[in-house]
């Protein structure tokens, strides 16, 4: 059983296009996240949602818009893609409120390449 899944795994697109990455978790967690891993492997939080509400937005450009239709899904839509958006995007989930645990479980990542 896949705990946190992302689609697609690879995404190659042209500058200026709009694209979406989907994330789903079947762990019953309340909180979901998007992280960006750049070409130097550095990982940084982008967004966090708790029960469909945005709780963290780490100075990400407005071109990035997360959408959480329910607490099991957190999608990432990117408008007007730029070369600098090329990275690996990881979705994660955790259940900090209920179990007092901050362990985040990550999806397999989506490698986005903007040409």
Partner 1 sequence: AQKVTQAQTEISVVEKEDVTLDCVYETRDTTYYLFWYKQPPSGELVFLIRRNSFDEQNEISGRYSWNFQKSTSSFNFTITASQVVDSAVYFCALSEANKLVFGAGTILRVKS
Tokens 């079947």 found at: 26
Q: Alpha-carbon Rg of the chain, whole angstroms? A: 13
Helix (H, G, I), strand (E, B) or coil at 19: strand
For residue 17, the minimal CB distance to partner 1 (Å) is 23
Segment lying near partner 1 (by CB under 8 A), choices 12-20, 51-59, 66-74, 77-85: 51-59
> What's the rounded Cα separation, in Å, for the pair 27 and 49?
15
* Residue 63 touching partner 1 (CB under 8 A): no
Query: Interaction with partner 1 in 64-83: which residues (CB under 8 A)?
Result: none
Does 53 bind partner 1 (CB under 8 A)? Our answer is no
- From the number of C-beta atoms within 10 Å of its C-beta (0-12, 13-18, 19+), residue 32 rates as buried
Q: Which x/- pattern over 15-44 shows residues binding partner 1 (rule: CB under 8 A)?
A: ----------------x-x-x----xxxxx
Is 96 one of the binding residues for partner 1 (CB under 8 A)? yes
- Give the containing element (helix H, strand E) for 97: helix 96-99
Binding region for partner 1 (CB under 8 A)? 31, 33, 35, 40-45, 48, 50, 55-56, 58, 88, 90, 92, 94, 96, 101-109, 111
């Amino acid at each position: 059983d896949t705990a946190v899944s992302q689609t697609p795994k690879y995404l190659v697109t042209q500058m200026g296009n709009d694209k979406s990455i989907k994330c789903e978790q079947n762990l019953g967690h309340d909180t979901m996240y998007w992280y960006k891993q750049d070409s130097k492997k550095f990982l940084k939080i982008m967004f966090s949602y708790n029960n469909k509400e945005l709780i963290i937005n780490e100075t990400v450009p407005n071109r990035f818009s997360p959408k959480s239709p329910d607490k099991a899904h957190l999608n990432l839509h990117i408008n007007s893609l730029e070369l600098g958006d090329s990275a690996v995007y990881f979705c994660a989930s955790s259940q900090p409120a209920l179990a007092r645990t901050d362990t985040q479980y990550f999806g397999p990542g989506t490698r986005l390449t903007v040409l």
